[in-house]
Amino acid sequence: MWLNKTSMTDRLYYHDPFLYEFEAEVRDQNNTPRPALILDRTAFYPTSGGQVHDTGWILAADQKFRVTEVADAEDGRIVHYLEAPLKDLKPGARIRGQIDPARRRDHMQQHSGQHVLSAAFVRLFNMPTVSFHMGDDYCSIDLDTPNLSRDQIESAERLANEIILENRPVDIRFVTRDEAGKLGLRKIPPTECDELRLIDIHDFDLTACGGTHVRQTGQIGCILLRKAEKVRQGWRVEFVAGQRAVATARRDYTVLTEGAALFSAHIYDIPQQIRKALDEIRSLRKQWEQSLEDLADAQAAALLAETPESNGRRIVVRTFSDREMGFLKLLAQKLTRLSPNVVALLATKSPQPSLVFAQSPGQPFDMSALLKKVMATLGGRGGGSKDMAQGGAPTTDGVESALESVSATLCA
Ligand SMILES: [Zn+2]
């Protein structure tokens, strides 16, 4: 429970996003449900406007607390969530805040990159950005457009990187809502607040935003567009900026290199190599299926030839050590079509212990019922129709003797 519901937190990052260390006074603290702290002023950025929060440390006397999350409270105060419970940090105590500079720099690169990219899509194709998301690996913007081509993506990427290379100043300005209305902003947020904070990328983009941004576009480093996909209200474009772009390119290259090594090929030949391999697989699969047909034909004929007729029926019983269930079914089909008086009781021990029972059309038994009965003793499951049934057993134990006992029942 918060005790002191007083004034809003002074947001130091509004004026200087490069302020990584600051001093402040504790306004309020509590330990339930999570250890949390409110200060009179802070440089910590709370999750808002698509940008995720900072992390860092709070130093007080001889204590050091890790700040794991920062959030906006509804009353305009900023809550710092801490890893460990607070002791002896009463309102009025002086603390020192330290922001994780690498994380902040990364967020500034991504967020500033987003402004440049969103403006590039407006300038080139009049495609407004309707939302921005910052994730751990990549960021994305949603564009309000029914179509987006690969050429358009590449053009926007090129323009965004030109603006970055030109190292344009990025200024922070505060104006009233009325003034903002006359400035032709790219985006005005729907807030009640009368004062707006503007981010001004010199002669390129002017928009209202509360986030942290670089001072010069050159500090963004670069921007790399990646996946683009159709979403409900337009197109989502994923991107990475600055060090993230380099890290992403590095990861891509590592994966490509690994893939190329598998083919002993150059990375740029991977698609061609994959196409070739897929063609080969397709052709081999066709040959394999044809071979199985031929094998099943030959085996069915041989099995029938070696199975004597008894009571006007041929009961073929065979357990294979290494056949797919698909082959058993194929063989059962061939057997029961070759002759009108066949019952086939087939099994395989591996890769998966399986059974297939089948009879020629017109034979009087119920294969499904027979199989279910056998499965009940083997502890497996299966089913099918009157003329053909299949099932899987948990082990090979008892499979062969089960076939023999079914055969004996049928002969009786
Ligand atoms: Zn922004």
Q: How many A from CA of 36 to the centre of ligand 1?
A: 26
Q: How many A from CA of 155 to the centre of ligand 1?
A: 22
Q: How many A from CA of 241 to the centre of ligand 1?
A: 14
Q: How far apart are CA 316 and CA 375, in angstroms?
A: 19
Q: What confidence tens digit (pLDDT) does each residue in 140-190 have?
A: 999 999 999 999 999 999 999 999 999 999 999 999 988 888 888 887 777
Q: How many A from CA of 134 to the centre of ligand 1?
A: 12
pLDDT at 309 over 70: yes
| DSSP letter (8 states) at residue 46 | P
The residues with which 141 forms a beta bridge, in sequence order, are 132, 237
Q: How far apart are CA 150 and CA 101, in angstroms?
A: 35
pLDDT band at 208 (very low <50, low <70, confident <90, very high): very high
pTM over 0.85: no
Structure tokens at 151: 């050429």
Sign, Cα dihedral of 250, 251, 253, 258: positive
Residue 260: CB atoms within 10 A of its CB come to: 16
Q: How many A from CA of 24 to the centre of ligand 1?
A: 25
Q: What confidence tens digit (pLDDT) does each residue in 281-296 have?
A: 999 999 999 999 999 9
Which residues 6+ apart lie within 8 Å of 159 measured at CB? 120, 123, 124
Q: How many A from CA of 335 to the centre of ligand 1?
A: 73
pLDDT at 202 over 70: yes
Q: How many A from CA of 115 to the centre of ligand 1?
A: 6
pLDDT at 5 over 70: no
Q: How many A from CA of 368 to the centre of ligand 1?
A: 67
Q: How many A from CA of 117 to the centre of ligand 1?
A: 12
| 120 and 159 Cβ atoms separated by less than 8 Å | yes
DSSP letters for 9-20:
PEEGGGT-TT--
Q: How many A from CA of 359 to the centre of ligand 1?
A: 73
Which residues 6+ apart lie within 8 Å of 259 measured at CB? 267, 270
Q: How many A from CA of 29 to the centre of ligand 1?
A: 30
Q: How far apart are CA 213 and CA 164, in angstroms?
A: 13
Distance of CA 190 to CAs 187, 209, 324, 389, Å?
9, 11, 64, 66
For residue 97, which of 45, 38, 20 has the smallest C-alpha distance?
20
Q: How many A from CA of 252 to the centre of ligand 1?
A: 28
Q: How many A from CA of 162 to the centre of ligand 1?
A: 19
| 115 and 209 Cβ atoms separated by less than 8 Å | yes
Q: How far apart are CA 112 and CA 202, in angstroms?
A: 13
Q: How many A from CA of 110 to the centre of ligand 1?
A: 9
Q: How far apart are CA 16 and CA 12, in angstroms?
A: 6
pLDDT band at 4 (very low <50, low <70, confident <90, very high): low
Q: What confidence tens digit (pLDDT) does each residue in 223-249 have?
A: 999 999 999 889 999 999 999 999 999
